[in-house]
Amino acid sequence: MDQTKRRPRKQGWRFVLLALALAVAISGLVRSLWIDVYFIPSESMEPLFGTGDRILVSRIDFDAEPIRRGDVVVFDGRGTYAPLNSGKGPVLDAASAVAQWLGVAGSETTYVKRVIGLPGDQVVCCDEQGRLTVNGQILEEPYLYPGDAASAQKFNVVVPADRLWLLGDHRSQSADSRSLLGAPGGGMVPLDRIIGRPVQIIWPLDRFAAVPRPAEAGTTGAGTTTKNGQ
């Protein structure tokens, strides 16, 4: 009698485990092909994203329309932003790996920044009014963190083919392409390292909102003489 009573329980647990495994497999497939969850670990993209935000990232948005200046992108920084981890990510324990997969912890090799320079662009900081110029034109940056300068660090870069020059919106708090000017690759991120575009803030709930794709960042007028001859 005891054995006959236990069999339905065993079958029930097997069904639950099978259903759980199937759900994880489907979730993994969706996240690898369509949409994923990421955690914002810093203030580098304020005011658009705050520390602790969880965002949905579409992997397919850039399939229909190429990346343009002003887009916000999530990317794999191994070999560029994380040069010491070139080709390899940090060794994770199981708890850290699960936390990153669930989008409740940040990754040391995944970043979110804004596209400032496209392949072939010359990006310069700064003109006499402290503005960035792209190909000699003043770059309009309405997304900058209030009170921040376009950059306290001067640079004059030409973006190679198939690469991007990326900066955070909160420039005074962002480690970005500027931080790697002397490193191999000069902070330029290959296009094939782009994971996708943030499309939704899902946490915290009081910040739940869609993240619309911005219009292409415009340039106006001719850039004036730059500081220090740059």
Pair of tokens at residue 147: 């009170």
* CA pair distance 94, 98, nearest whole angstrom: 6
* CA pair distance 6, 78, nearest whole angstrom: 51
Name the nearest CA neighbour of 117 among 134, 103, 136.
134
Catalytic positions, written as ranges: 44, 113
* CA pair distance 173, 148, nearest whole angstrom: 9
Residue type, position 205, single letter: L
Name the nearest CA neighbour of 113 among 32, 36, 188, 61.
188
* CA pair distance 73, 165, nearest whole angstrom: 11
The answer to whether the Cα torsion of 166, 171, 176, 181 is positive or negative is positive
Pair of tokens at residue 217: 């960042």
* CA pair distance 139, 57, nearest whole angstrom: 26
